[in-house]
Amino acid sequence: MDQVYLPKNRPSMPTGSYVILKSIDNLTPNKINLTFHGIKYLEPIKLEILNRIIKVIKQNTQDYQNIIITGSFLNKGFSFNDIDILVISNVQLIPEKLSKILESQIGIPMHILILSNKELLEGLNTDPLYELMLSQCISENKFIYKINKRINYKLLDLHLIKSKIIIDNFDILNGKDKYHLIRNLIAIKLFLENRKLSSKIIDDTILKEFKLNNIQELKDNLLDKQSFLIKFKEIYQKLFNNILQGIDNDSKQKQNS
**DSSP structure string for 190-224:** HHHTT----HHHHHHHHHHHHT-S-HHHHHTT---
pLDDT computed for residue 90 by the predictor: 87
Start and end residues for every CATH 3.30.460.10 domain found in the chain: 33-139
What type of residue sits at position 3?
Answer: Q
pLDDT computed for residue 76 by the predictor: 87
Neighbours of 102 (CB within 10 A): 21
Per-residue pLDDT of 147-177, as tens digits, reads 888 999 999 999 999 999 999 999 999 999 9
For the chain, residues with pLDDT lower than 70 are 1-31
Backbone angles phi, psi at 15, to 5 degrees: -55, 130
Per-residue pLDDT of 111-139, as tens digits, reads 999 999 999 999 999 999 999 999 999 99
pLDDT computed for residue 29 by the predictor: 46
pLDDT computed for residue 31 by the predictor: 64
33-139 — its CATH code?
3.30.460.10
Cα(241)–Cα(239) distance, rounded to whole angstroms? 5
pLDDT computed for residue 22 by the predictor: 52
pLDDT computed for residue 30 by the predictor: 56
Whole-structure pTM value: 0.80
